[in-house]
Amino acid sequence: MTTFINNVTGTENAIEGSAVNGRGVVGKSEADYGVRAHSNKSAGLRGSSNEGRGIEGWATSSEGVVGISTHGNGVWGQTEGAGAGVLGTSPNGRGVVGVSEAAYGVSGDSKKSAGIRGTSIDGRGTEGWSTNSEGVVGISTHGNGVWGQTEGNGVGVLGTSLGGIGVRGISETYEGMHAETKSSTTAAIAAYNFNPNGIGAAIFGKKEGNLGHAGFFDGNVFVSKTLTVGVDIVLANADCAEDFDIIAGLEKVEPGTVMVIDQEGALGQSEQAYDKRVAGVISGAGKYKPGIVLDKQESSRNRMPIALMGKVYCKVDAQYGAIEMGDLLTTSPTAGYAMKVIDPLKAFGAVIGKALQSLNEGQGLIPILVTLQ
């Protein structure tokens, strides 16, 4: 047995080992630490490497590297080359374990790349567990605070917490959390609330102040169950429409056309004056688009939205009488066009709505307020 005890009070190394091809210092133990370093102020164990690994730990059934420090770094690894500052590899145990009573168990900071990066083939790239606080905290000046990647069915980054937040993202100038997917069948973000009796939400969004939105979607949104709104629904577009089957031969019928119901319940162009079968006007002409469309469904027949209420552009014909703003409109002998109501008795049950613009002569497309009566 060989024992070395060096007590140094200056800046020299208590133990220094140098080797050209072998190991600078080797420590072996059957029952305790092979090498143990203790520090009250700085790193318990520090490894620096220009090309290889600053510190490498291998273990068959336990931790590859364990670093414990009262005030400083339990393990500090630094490399100026392409190697790892700290690398821990273990077939059955943990590659690297960081334990702290008051600060982070493991803290990763980076000025260019990921603060902490976890890569996994079958399991989780990075896993964080917390009883009362954050499962994982990643901080980076320019790169990724936390980067997790998996090539199997595991999770790139997984945060689990019993009392706090599983995963939390905060940003001063960009999205707090950003998710992307290249899959054609799954969502970029999937959230689930598995409590069948609770009132909590799978996703909760809150916006302070009156400007901006708690949630913003640029694209189609599908809701499979009840949508409950506590205050108002604000729709940017104009009318309330409903999809109807269009009779055969009218596949190219234009928006703004006045439509009537045929014997089978499908819709065709109006062709006679004061037709009580009038259903409405095809929505979408001019600058008015439907704000809401009811009965949207797949069909082998051509279906189009018919404005039942609200503002819509309508084709009108002024040859039967000049149209002034506020005039009641009904069907006309001109196919698909409305005209001014001349005989109120005939118009009962055939009124389409009120004109919101005048047309003295000819045919045109004017905005109307749909009020079927």
pLDDT for residue 231: 82
pLDDT for residue 58: 67
The 10s digit of each residue's pLDDT in 111-163 is: 666 667 777 677 767 777 777 777 777 777 777 777 777 777 777 777 777 77
168: which 2 tokens? Answer: 């939390």
Residues in CB range of 174: below 8 A, 6 or more apart: none
C-alpha torsion 246→247→250→256, nearest 10: -40
C-alpha span between 13 and 261 (Å, rounded): 97
C-alpha torsion 93→98→99→102, nearest 10: -160
Mean confidence (pLDDT) of the chain? 80
Q: Cα 64–52–31 angle (5° rounding)?
A: 25
pLDDT for residue 41: 67
H or E segment to which residue 237 belongs: none
DSSP lists the bridge partners of residue 87 as 56
Q: Is the pLDDT of residue 48 over 70?
A: no
At residue 282, the 3 state secondary structure works out as strand
pLDDT for residue 115: 67
8: which 2 tokens? Answer: 């140094």
Burial (CB count within 10 angstroms: exposed 0-12, middle 13-18, buried 19+), residue 88: buried
Q: Is the pLDDT of residue 1 over 60?
A: no
Per-domain residue ranges of the chain: 108-170, 239-371
122: which 2 tokens? Answer: 């079958």
Q: How many CB atoms lie within 10 A of CB 158?
A: 21
Q: 57-74 burial string, b = 16+ CB within 10 Å, else e? A: bebeeebbbbbebeeebb
Going 280 to 285 to 288 to 289, the CA torsion angle's sign is positive
C-alpha span between 184 and 203 (Å, rounded): 22
The 10s digit of each residue's pLDDT in 152-185 is: 777 777 777 777 777 777 778 888 788 888 888 8
The 10s digit of each residue's pLDDT in 303-348 is: 999 998 999 999 999 999 999 999 999 999 999 999 999 999 999 9
**Average pLDDT, stretch 20-34?**
70
H or E segment to which residue 298 belongs: none
pLDDT for residue 127: 73
Which position has the token pair 């080359």?
81
CATH number of the structural domain 239-371: 2.40.300.10
The 10s digit of each residue's pLDDT in 61-86 is: 667 666 666 666 666 666 666 667 66
